[in-house]
Structure 1
């Protein structure tokens, strides 16, 4: 399990490129036949990259030990959201079985046990991205199909930021303790996300970029609004942002990303926008 620590903005402004990448970026979250786990001290967020091949089932209990979380099983005091970025997947739990097509999502509430993952197609394995945060209440598990996600159109081609936001774990779709998740798809000809930039002191946010072609990249912008930095990001790489940091990106071509938030509230538009003339 990879562990990421929190950092103070006064320290971050002195980081070089390599140190920025160590602090904010997870480069190899997905490996065939493995469950990779990243534990962030920012709001106790856990990110999981799960890529089962069709020959075997991957069990969460086999990679999450009790000592790491101080509980008898992973979701004893946590909730989790999962979005499938690959081929069809089956997720088995003590409470039921769920089949996820490409871009479907699943919410697993507190106290869900015996979680395992498998792919249905040898040629097209599932690529399951999970986020988990502490939970105080048990809400029902729920499968959210891609077409059932709440769709919001934002931006314009004139500003190179025309995009569709798909809200899965969102108060208008289902109840969760604190976790929110969704996926943003940029239209062809658009490359900017989340600009004008914002922060939200009441929530942290994580971006998992995907649909980036091998010869393309995204420049992810972070840091305090007056002390911005950037990290070059490639396909299926994860950025974890503290609440004081902006989180925005510009690609060499259109792309997609999964966003996840945890913190004080679930109000999607509770943001502190930064005027363009104030960015530095």
Structure 2
């Protein structure tokens, strides 16, 4: 498990491109028959990906967690972006189609990931946050999520937001997760930009062709920076940073949040004339 320590905005504004990418960009989450994880000290979120092809992959606690099993003090949300996935949780089996989500609460000890078909392997993205109580394991499809239609074609940001793990959907302690899909011709996400200083956020960009890129904007509103992001790469967004982007062609992204607040209403919108 790779460790990424927290940063502060006064230091981050001096980073060059290479340092920005080392600190905030996760470039390789999906490796054949492996589970890859990054421990972000920002709200102690674990960001990971599993690509089971021929093997069944067991979710195990790395030494950094100092626990007997991964979910001893954590909860987790899985979302499948590949072929049909199988997730076994303490002997109970869940089958996940594309964009299906599985929430697993604190205390589950035996979690295994596999694919139904090695020729079309699952790609299982997950985020895990600290938990103080146990909520029931629950599978949900993207069609069952709370759905919002935002933006417009005129502003190139017409998009559908599917809120999946949140107070009004799948219950959790602090983890929030969903997926955003775009209307044809729209490329801007989360614009106007916003901040939520009580929660960090992570993005996984996916459904991009090989040559496409997303220009992900981050930093303080008056000190913006950008990351050039390829398909199936993830971004760690600290609580002090905006998080927005534009793609060179179509894409989708999964967002996940963790922190103090458990609401969408704590956002501070950044006016366009504040961005620099």
* Band of TM-score, shorter chain: over 0.9
Q: How many residues align?
A: 276
Distance in 1, matches of 2:264 and 2:91, equals: 30
Distance in 2, matches of 1:279 and 1:47, equals: 28
Number of the residue aligned with 2:119: 123
Per-residue deviation, residues 44-84 of structure 1 (Å, max 9, x unmatched): 1001110101x2211113xx33x321211110100000100
Number of the residue aligned with 1:255: 251
Q: Report the secondary structure of 1:182's partner residue.
A: strand
Number of the residue aligned with 1:57: 56
Distance in 2, matches of 1:182 and 1:251, equals: 19
Q: Is the 8 A contact 1:180 1:261 kept in 2?
A: yes
Compute the displacement of 1:254 (Å). Answer: 2.1
Number of the residue aligned with 2:273: 277
Per-residue deviation, residues 184-243 of structure 1 (Å, max 9, x unmatched): 001110000001100101110000000111111000000000000000000000000110
Cα root mean square deviation, aligned: 0.9
Distance in 1, matches of 2:185 and 2:5, equals: 36
Distance in 1, matches of 2:45 and 2:105, equals: 15
Which consecutive residues of structure 1, in runs of 5 or more, have no partner in the other structure? none
Q: Structure 1 length normalisation: TM-score?
A: 0.97
Q: Is the 8 A contact 1:95 1:113 kept in 2?
A: no
Per-residue deviation, residues 6-49 of structure 1 (Å, max 9, x unmatched): 11101111101000000100000111111001001101100111
Number of the residue aligned with 1:23: 23
Per-residue deviation, residues 232-276 of structure 1 (Å, max 9, x unmatched): 000000000110000000011121000000011121132111110
Q: Is the 8 A contact 1:30 1:36 kept in 2?
A: yes
Q: Report the secondary structure of 1:98's partner residue.
A: strand
Equivalent in 242, 245, 250 of residue 241 of structure 2: 245
Q: Structure 2 length normalisation: TM-score?
A: 0.98
Distance in 1, matches of 2:82 and 2:145, equals: 18
Number of the residue aligned with 1:158: 154
Equivalent in 263, 270, 275 of residue 267 of structure 1: 263
Number of the residue aligned with 1:112: 108
Q: Report the secondary structure of 2:122's partner residue.
A: coil
Compute the displacement of 1:150 (Å). Answer: 1.3
Matches within 5 A, 1:219-234: 219-234=215-230
Number of the residue aligned with 1:91: 87
| 4+ long deviations beyond 6 Å | none
